[in-house]
Structure formats: C-alpha cells, structure tokens
Structure 1
Amino acid sequence: MKAIIVDDEKHVREAIKLLVPWNEFQIEEVLEAQDGQEAIQSIMEHQPQIIFTDMMMPLMGGMELLEWLQHNYPTGKTIVISGFDDFQLVRHTVQHGGVDYILKPIDAEQLHAAVTKAVDCWNREETERHGQRQRNIEMNQIRPVYWDKLFSNLINEPSGYEAAAAPLAGEFGIGPDLRECRLAVANIHTLSAKVRDKFKTDQDLLFFSITNICNEILRGSRQGVAFRYWNSDHEIVLLLYGAAIPPLKLMESVQAGIETALRSSIDIGISQPVPFPAGLTEAYHQARLALRRRNLLVSGKAVHPYQEKSASNPLLLSFSDFAEQIRLAVRSGSTEQIERSVHLWIEAVNRLESITQEQLEHWRDEYRLLRSRWLLEWFGEQAEMNAKPEQASFPLPLDASGALSVALWEQQLSAELSELSQLMLKRQHQDNNVIFEIAKYIQNHYHQDITLQEIASHFYLSREYISRKFKQEFKVNLSDYISGIRAEKAKLLLLNPHLRIAQVAEMVGYDDEKYFSKVFKKIVGFSPNEYRKVNQP
C-alpha cells in the first residue's frame, strides 16, 4: 500500500511519518505534498490508498482537495489533521468521504485508530471491488455464450422468440417492429490453411476472433449481430436486420475486416429475405446451401447469395462410372495400374467448369459405398476390421487459399487406393497360407472323424469363411476334398488282399462300410471290391 501526507508545514509531515507504524499496516511507500494542487498530481501518478491532509494550505486547501477526491478518486481513504476545531470543517470532511478528523497537536493513539479504520475500510472495499471485477469477468465470458446459444436455438425453434423478445430488444434493438431479416453463414473451413493451422489447438479463440470482427461491423452500424452456431463445429451465423447498408456490401465489409485481422478471407453464404422470426430455419438452410453450391475451383473468396436451383438438374459426373476400372486396378496390385485408373477419373473431373460441395459429397458417398462393397468382397466377415475411418475418407485436399487442388487430390487418392491394394494382397497371402495349412491338416488327419466345425475350432476361423476360401483356392468343397483324400488312401490299402473292406473303411475314417463303398464308387467309378479285382497284382 501507499500513503500521502499533504501539509504545508514540514514538521507536521515529519511527525505523522514518525507516529504511524507503517509496516504494521503494510504501507511500503509514504509520499509528501505541500498543498492540494501538488497532492492531486502525486495522487494521479502514484495512486496512494491512504491520504492525510491539512485543511488550511496555500493554493488549494483541504476542503477543495476533499471535493476533488470525492469526484475523481473515491477509492482513497482520507484522514484530516487540522489545527481548527470548527464544526463546518468537520461537517465538510464527513460530507466528502473523510474517514476521521484529528486535531493538532496530534495524539498518537487517535492517529493509530484513524489509520486502522482507514486501512480496514480500504481493504474491505477492495475485497468487494475484486469480487465485482471477477463477477464482471465471468459475466463477460458467459454473456457471449448465452447469446450464441439463444440465437442458435432460435434458428432451430423460431417459436422461442417470444420468451427471448425482451432481452433481445434491450441488447440488440431487435424489437417487435422487425418483420424481415436475412441470415449469412461463414464456414471456418474456408479460411486459409495457414490460419486454420494457427488456431488448430484453440478453435474457441478462432470463433471468438471472427465473431468479434463481425460484430464490430454489424453492431457498430446497428445492421445485425454475429454468433457462433452451436449446432455445428465450424459455422458462424450472421443475423442481418438493418436496412442502411445493402446486405451484399455489408458482407463484403465483413470479409475485408477478417482479411485485415487474420490475413485470410472467408466464404460467406447469404439467404434471401425471410420473415422474422418464423423464417430463421429456412434462412439458415438457404445460406448454408449457397455455400455448398459455390465453385471450389475458384480460389478467391466471395459472398454467395442463395439462388433457387432446378431439382431436375442432373449431377455432372459419377464416380461409379469409373469404379470397375479402379476396382480391377486395386485387385491387380499394380501401382501403375491404380495411378492410370485414377488419372482417367481426374481427367473427367478436370473437364468440369465447376465443382460444388454438393458434388463432392455425392462423390464421397459413392466412393464409401463402393469401398465397403470391395472390402466385403475381399475380406468377407473381417471387412469391418479393415474399414478404418482414416482409410474410408474421400481425400479432398485444398490449397493454401482454400481452393480445391485436383492435382493433389489425384496423388492422395492414388496413394490411398495403393494402400488398400497392398492390404488386400497381404490379406490374400495370409488367407492362402491358412488354407494350405488346413489342407495339410486334412492330409495328416484324414483317418479321423474330421468335421468343418472341428477344423474351424482348431484354426479359430468361422465355418463360412473356411468353406468360401477353401473353394476359392482348391475349386472344390471342403467335404469333397476330404473324401478325395480318403479315396486315394483307400486305393492303396485295397491293393493289400489281406485287408477286409470294413478294415480299409475304418483306416480311412469311415465307421460304416456301406457308406464308404457308396462314397468310393462315386469318386472312383468302381466299388471297393471292383477296384480290388481290377487292380489285383
């Protein structure tokens, strides 16, 4: 804390300095002034908390100083030390906020009590001021979020306007006379990559910065208000209700403000005029659709007004038309074939004069559906294990200005498909290995009661998977494969005349001699007895 002693007599100032135990009150600096004018200059510069002043001084006395303090420095606590026992002076002291009035010569105990009272009063008020500052800070942090959520809810439920009408009128001047408005949508994804990377770890700060820039322009001219749309993680919505500036020109001013502050502009979609508040939901969809229909091949940022589009307007290009070429290239395992098939697709894209976000989303959906089918074809029941989200994306790289880079897109799509191809080949190799392991297992255990379920349990695979993969590799059902192995072994055993047919059947895995004979004849063309006679040495 600091204190100042204002008195034109030096010995009085020295007496006060000696009588007050400054350390006890945590007063670290004691200033001095000879009159009121000098005191005012020092108070403005050093901001002391405790002020001692005489009443009768040249140039400016204590009465005038008290009046100045009350109007210009009310937080300071003043103790008057005077040689005049005058009621008017005491009354003036009380009226203008003085803590105490002490007569000269100074009594040490009275002075100590007065300083105690002044310091306690200042500390108590400072605690209150600090609490109020904290409450103000918290309110300043909460208020924007409150308005953001209120406006966001109005877009989804315009009927909620009646409950919010009074605060909206008081804060933004949105009263019952407002009949028509527009909505604009700014998407932070359309900012330059440099800006998005800068705020990558603090998206809230990016939203705060842009909404502040927008509101400086909109609220300053009473033309509207900008807010973060809480139902989206990348949109700022601007409610436009003023008529002084044309909406398109106003949005260009907003773009210019963002460009100046962030060194990057932003695309903005703007709706047609709609009734307020009933049309807010429709206006939001119009503004958002205007953004989705912008031409991504154009590098410069713009304001995109909503325009009706014919529902019969066909999509210009379908990714599915190139799907079979790309699928075969991926199956081939050849990076060159993959790049060639993707290049054919990109050549078709390059012939387009315009590419919109709507078109990109359609291509993305086509790609994801086709990729899911390919995974199911190549990996069967384990397709989901290979359908990682980062691999299922449809790469849409943007250049530094936020425009679509078709060349980079070609590179990334080729790389992703090549990765998928390698994954397929690796899986195919693993499948082949396990199928040959199963075949080897059958050859070593043909004489046992081998079933598909027993094999599935032994190799921790499903019966359906084994059946499908085994037939793909050996072109024969698993059961027929087992029967074939047993028939070949039985042929050798039948050459031994000392073995009965029942013994041969048991030795190759059949408990029923008749069933063995039936299966053997079906495969070899002869019954076991006929085969033995024909092939008797």
Structure 2
Amino acid sequence: MKVLIVDDEAHVIRAVKLLVPWQELGITETYEALTPHDAIRIMEAEQPEILITDIVMQDLSGIDLMKYIASSLKHIKVIVISGYNNFDYVRSSLQHGGVDYLLKPLDQDQLIEAVKKAVDAWNQEHNLYHTAQIHKDQIDSMATLCRENLLSRLIHGDHPEQACRKLMELSPELSELTACGFTYCNLEPFISGEEASWNEPFHRYRDALACFLADSGAGFLLPADSRYEIAVFLTDYSPAFQEQLKNFLQSVRQSLPFPVCMGVAAGIFPGGIMETYQKARAAFGACNMASLSPVLCSLEPGFHRPFHGLTEKQKEVDDRMLLSALLTGNEQLIDDSISVWIRSRIPEDAPLLAIVLEAVQDENRLFASWAELFENRHKGFRHQTEYVVLNFRDIMDGSMRISFERFRRRMRADILFLYGELKSIHSPEADMIYQVAHYIELNYNQPFSQAACAQTFFVNQEYLCRKFKQTFHVTMITYLNDLRINQARQMLKDPMIKIRQIAHEVGFEDEKYFSRQFKKSTGMTPNDYRTRYQEQLGE
C-alpha cells in the first residue's frame, strides 16, 4: 500500500513521516509533494491508496485535490491536516470523502488512528469491489455459457424456435444480426489419445483462438461435441476479418504439431444457422491433405458430396479384386491390387481430408469383414487379437501430409498378415484348393483360364485341375459355370435387364453359348426361365 503526503511546509511532511509506523499498518511506500500540482502528477503515476494533505496551500487547496480525486481517482482515501479549526473546511472535506480532519500541531495517536481508519476503509471498499467483480464475472460467465449452449442447440436442431427465443432474450444484440459465419475443425484424426504431450499444444491453440476472437469481437467458441473439435460462431464474416483470421492461423501453425486448417462458411442468421454449420464441417473435409492449405477452406457454390465419383458397385469390384489377391498370396498381384484400390478411392491430385478418412474407414471395415468371412468359411481360423486397426496417422508423414507409400505399405502388411493367418490353420479347409475355389467365386464374371489360375497360385496346372476335381467332384470349368448360371438366375428375375446384358455381366462373351449352358443346367432357356418366374409371381 502507498501513501502520499502533501504540504507546502517540508517540516510538516517530515513530522508526519516520523510519527506513523507505516510498515505495521501495511504501508510500504511513502511519497511527498510540496505543491498540489506535484501531488497530482505523483497520484497519476504511482496510484497511492492514501493521501494526507494540508487544506490551505498556494495555487490549489486540499479541497481542490479532493475534488480531483472524486472525479478521477475515487479509490484514494484522504486525511486532511490543517492549522485552521474552520467549520466550513471540515464540512467541505467530509463532503468530498475525507476520512478524518486533524488539527496542527499533530497528535501522534490521532494521526495513527486516522491512518488506520483510512487503511481499513480502503481494504473494506476494495474487498467489496473484488467480491462484486467476482459475482459479475460469474454472471457474465454463466451468461456466456448459456449463449453458447443455446447456439449449440440451434445448430443441432434441438428445439430451435425455443432456443432462438431464449437466445434473443439473453443477447439482444444478436437480434439485429442477419448474417453469420462458422469456422470448424476436428483434429481427432491427427492427435492420438495416447500422446499426452499433444494435449497441451491443442489447448494452447484453442485458448489463443478464443483470445483472438475476444479481442476482435467477431465471434466466440462453441461447446465441442468431441475432444479435439473446435467450432467458432462468427458475427463478422467480412473480408477484412477473414484476412485477420488467416494471418492468425498462419502465425500459430509453425509452433503446433498438428495441421492448422479450418473449414469456413457464411449464411443467414438465425434461419440458416444449421446449414451454415454443416457447410463449415464439409469445408473442413475438403482440406487438401497433400498441401494442408489454405488455412481457411471454403466450398465452391453448388459443391456437393461425395467428393469423388466412385460408385458402390465400383468399390465392390475393387474390394473383390483385393480379396482375390489375398487368397493367392501372390505378392505382385497384391501390390497391383492395392495400388488400384487406393488410386480409385483417393485422387492423388486432390486427396481431400474427408476422402482419406473414408478410405481409412473402408480399409478397416474391409479387413474386419474378411476376418469374419474366413472364420465362417474355414474351420479353425481365428483372427489374432494383437492386430491393430489402421489409424489415420499411420498414413501421414512427419509433416502431417498424406503418404501414399505409407498407405500402400500398411495395406500390404495387413493383407499378408491375414494370408499368414489363413495358411497357418491346420484343417482340411486350409488346403490351397479352397482358396482357389474362393478365388473363382470372387471372379466368376471375369475371363477365366485354368493355366492362368495355376500360374497365379504358383502350382502345376495338371495338379490343380486334378486336385480341384478330387475335392469338389466337378471340374473348375463346371464349378465356374454353375456360379455364373446361379447369378444369371437371380438377374433374370428383373424383366428390365436384357438377356444379352446378363450374359456379359456373369462372364459369358457369347449370348448363344450362355443360353446353351443355361438350358443344360436348368432344363430351359433364359427366356423361358424368366417367363416361368413372372407367371409364378402373378399367381
């Protein structure tokens, strides 16, 4: 605590300084001034808590100092000392907030008691102010939390009309807002939960973003739906603010161990808030994983998912090709199939985040389904519990950009791991011939050559044909044709598919040969089979 002593007589100042045990009263610094003008300068610079002043001085009086304090430095407590026992002086000093009025010559006990009174008054007032400030901060914090929760309800469609009404009551300034924006990111794929060292940088980044928004007055963070999600509601979406936000993200990205890029979108408030939020999420999914730029990613007008034109049927073809390669154990075939699979799912010129995430999820679903298939098809097969599913970070390089080579290597290791498990079981079904049968089932609609099949599985053709017939009691060609005919029977149930198209889709290049094989297997032509089915359907 600090005290300023003001008197135009230096000996009075010395006497005051000697009479009071300042340290005992909690006062650590004392200042002195011979004129009111010096006193004002010291008060502005040092902000003392207590002023002890004479009332009659040249130029300005102690009352003038008290008036100045009342207008500019209200926290200062004032003790007046005077050689005049004048009622008007006493009344004026009390009217302007004086704690006590002491007459010269000063009595030590009275002076000490006055200083104690001033210290107590300042402490009491300070404590009341501090408590009031805490309450105000608590109320502001609760209001902020309510506002953020109401906005969160709006973007998730949770009783939006009720949430909007309460939001306008809580924050009337938002009732004048007609447009808004969102920025969004979810760093969950980049940050492994086991890496505790990454938690501190993430929270530091989030806090820095919150401070930037508070300073700019352009928006605020919303409650996160997941651990590493950041959603920002923007009340300002002007080009000038966007540039400020870009500069902020650029300034912090070098010090963080994860990518700093956010999806951004603008829309109508409050009616379009849900759509705007979803557009910002989609825009984050459009971040380019090859360059991690720009730091603010927005969607072009008319942009719609999916990000690529790969159909479910094309996906199925690629998956079957990959499984076929696994069954052969042929590493060259496996490598080629992996390259086709990755290339069809992730465009190398635009490996967008959402596409890469989907490919990782597809790989994990695919391998889980294959393990289940093998367990059902091959007695004794058990998928090892130590197998670790593919993580998004497994296919990123040290700069957090996608590495196609790492993706290929990981898929290759996973396929060979499953193949090794398949070959390690000890049962009749583990014989290579069952993998051949499975391979034919997967590729029934492709051109087939017994010689090529034997070469794929690295066995002698004659041995393969003999072994196959011994195991399944039919030749490979008959086995294949039965598969094709059974698939054709299912397709013939749809009257809109032409018979010529069915023949080609099940693997027959010649429609007449298809018809002969179909009649040989079912006793009727494809057309007769379709007619019979439609008649039975109508009964």
- Aligned ranges 1:242-321 → 2 under 5 Å: 245=238, 251-263=242-254, 266-270=261-265, 273-274=267-268, 276-293=269-286, 296-297=289-290, 299-301=292-294, 302-305=297-300, 307-309=302-304, 314-315=309-310, 320-321=316-317
- Aligned ranges 1:362-373 → 2 under 5 Å: 362-373=358-369
Which segment is superposed worse, 225-234 or 77-86?
225-234
Instruction: Provide Cα deviations, 1:292-322, integer angstroms capped at 9, x if missing partner.
Output: 3555445421332452538898426855544
1:227 aligns with 2:217: no
Match of 1:397 among 395, 398, 401: 395
Query: What's the CA shift for 1:133?
Result: 4.4
Q: Supply the distance in 1 between the matched residues of 2:93 and 2:141 (Cα, whole angstroms).
A: 41
Query: What's the CA shift for 1:208?
Result: 3.1
Q: Which runs of 5+ in 2 are unaligned?
A: 428-470, 472-539
Q: Which runs of 5+ in 1 are unaligned?
A: 433-474, 476-537
1:161 aligns with 2:164: yes
* Residue in structure 2 matched with residue 26 of structure 1 by the alignment: 26
Tell whether the 8 Å contact from 1:211 to 1:226 is kept in structure 2 after alignment: yes
* Residue in structure 2 matched with residue 236 of structure 1 by the alignment: 231
Tell whether the 8 Å contact from 2:223 to 2:231 is kept in structure 1 after alignment: yes
- Aligned ranges 1:12-411 → 2 under 5 Å: 12-135=12-135, 138=138, 144-156=144-156, 157=158, 158-159=160-161, 160-169=163-172, 173-175=173-175, 178=177, 180-189=178-187, 200-214=199-213, 216=215, 219=217, 225-232=219-226, 233-239=228-234, 245=238, 251-263=242-254, 266-270=261-265, 273-274=267-268, 276-293=269-286, 296-297=289-290, 299-301=292-294, 302-305=297-300, 307-309=302-304, 314-315=309-310, 320-324=316-320, 326-327=322-323, 341-346=337-342, 348=344, 353-377=349-373, 386=385, 390-393=388-391, 397-398=395-396, 403-411=401-409
Tell whether the 8 Å contact from 1:269 to 1:303 is kept in structure 2 after alignment: yes
Tell whether the 8 Å contact from 1:330 to 1:338 is kept in structure 2 after alignment: yes
- Aligned ranges 1:373-522 → 2 under 5 Å: 373-377=369-373, 386=385, 390-393=388-391, 397-398=395-396, 403-417=401-415, 424=421, 428=424
Instruction: Provide Cα deviations, 1:21-63, integer angstroms capped at 9, x if missing partner.
Output: 3343132333322222222333334333222111122343312
Secondary structure in structure 1 of the residue aligned to 2:278: helix
Q: Supply the distance in 2 between the matched residues of 1:364 and 1:62 (Cα, whole angstroms).
A: 79
Query: What's the CA shift for 1:76?
Result: 1.9
Q: Supply the distance in 1 between the matched residues of 2:107 and 2:307 (Cα, whole angstroms).
A: 98
Secondary structure in structure 2 of the residue aligned to 1:201: helix
Tell whether the 8 Å contact from 2:310 to 2:345 is kept in structure 1 after alignment: no
TM-score w.r.t. the length of structure 1 is 0.64
Q: Supply the distance in 1 between the matched residues of 2:91 and 2:214 (Cα, whole angstroms).
A: 50
Tell whether the 8 Å contact from 1:251 to 1:303 is kept in structure 2 after alignment: no
Query: What's the CA shift for 1:101?
Result: 0.3
Query: What's the CA shift for 1:347?
Result: 5.1
Please identify the structure whose Cα radius of gyration is greater.
1
Q: 1:311 to 1:296 in 2, by over 3 A?
A: closer
Instruction: Provide Cα deviations, 1:319-368, integer angstroms capped at 9, x if missing partner.
Output: 55444565466678898876565345345567654444454344334322
Query: What's the CA shift for 1:138?
Result: 4.8
Tell whether the 8 Å contact from 2:364 to 2:389 is kept in structure 1 after alignment: no
* Residue in structure 2 matched with residue 492 of structure 1 by the alignment: none
Tell whether the 8 Å contact from 1:191 to 1:266 is kept in structure 2 after alignment: no
Letter in 1 for 2:271: A
Q: Supply the distance in 1 between the matched residues of 2:152 and 2:409 (Cα, whole angstroms).
A: 39
Tell whether the 8 Å contact from 1:211 to 1:228 is kept in structure 2 after alignment: no
Q: Supply the distance in 1 between the matched residues of 2:21 and 2:381 (Cα, whole angstroms).
A: 84
What's the % identity of the aligned pairs? 24
Instruction: Provide Cα deviations, 1:277-299, integer angstroms capped at 9, x if missing partner.
Output: 23322332233234435554454
Instruction: Provide Cα deviations, 1:244-272, integer angstroms capped at 9, x if missing partner.
Output: x46xx75455323322454575242425x
Query: What's the CA shift for 1:96?
Result: 1.6
Letter in 2 for 1:304: L
Tell whether the 8 Å contact from 1:295 to 1:355 is kept in structure 2 after alignment: yes
Query: What's the CA shift for 1:98?
Result: 0.8
Q: 1:294 to 1:17 in 2, by over 3 A?
A: closer
Q: 1:284 to 1:259 in 2, by over 3 A?
A: same
Query: What's the CA shift for 1:7?
Result: 1.8
Query: What's the CA shift for 1:199?
Result: 5.8
Q: Supply the distance in 1 between the matched residues of 2:260 and 2:108 (Cα, whole angstroms).
A: 70
TM-score w.r.t. the length of structure 2 is 0.63
Query: What's the CA shift for 1:143?
Result: 5.4
Secondary structure in structure 1 of the residue aligned to 2:81: strand
Instruction: Provide Cα deviations, 1:356-406, integer angstroms capped at 9, x if missing partner.
Output: 445434433432232112323456799687276x52546663456654332
Q: Supply the distance in 2 between the matched residues of 1:146 and 1:410 (Cα, whole angstroms).
A: 48
Q: Supply the distance in 2 between the matched residues of 1:397 and 1:333 (Cα, whole angstroms).
A: 23
Secondary structure in structure 2 of the residue aligned to 1:109: helix
Tell whether the 8 Å contact from 2:147 to 2:170 is kept in structure 1 after alignment: no
Tell whether the 8 Å contact from 2:360 to 2:392 is kept in structure 1 after alignment: yes
Q: 1:293 to 1:107 in 2, by over 3 A?
A: closer
Query: What's the CA shift for 1:162?
Result: 1.0
Tell whether the 8 Å contact from 1:213 to 1:258 is kept in structure 2 after alignment: no
* Residue in structure 1 matched with residue 474 of structure 2 by the alignment: none
Q: Supply the distance in 2 between the matched residues of 1:28 and 1:312 (Cα, whole angstroms).
A: 69
Which segment is superposed worse, 401-410 or 91-100?
401-410
Q: 1:234 to 1:16 in 2, by over 3 A?
A: same
CA RMSD after TM alignment: 4.2
Instruction: Provide Cα deviations, 1:171-196, integer angstroms capped at 9, x if missing partner.
Output: xx322x55x53543321539999xx9
Query: What's the CA shift for 1:114?
Result: 1.4
Secondary structure in structure 2 of the residue aligned to 1:150: helix
Letter in 1 for 2:165: E
Query: What's the CA shift for 1:214?
Result: 4.6
Tell whether the 8 Å contact from 1:207 to 1:236 is kept in structure 2 after alignment: no
Secondary structure in structure 2 of the residue aligned to 1:43: helix
Q: 1:7 to 1:155 in 2, by over 3 A?
A: same
Q: 1:116 to 1:428 in 2, by over 3 A?
A: same
Letter in 2 for 1:284: Y
Letter in 1 for 2:285: R
Q: Supply the distance in 2 between the matched residues of 1:207 and 1:312 (Cα, whole angstroms).
A: 29
Q: Supply the distance in 1 between the matched residues of 2:35 and 2:174 (Cα, whole angstroms).
A: 54
Query: What's the CA shift for 1:103?
Result: 0.8
Q: 1:97 to 1:198 in 2, by over 3 A?
A: farther
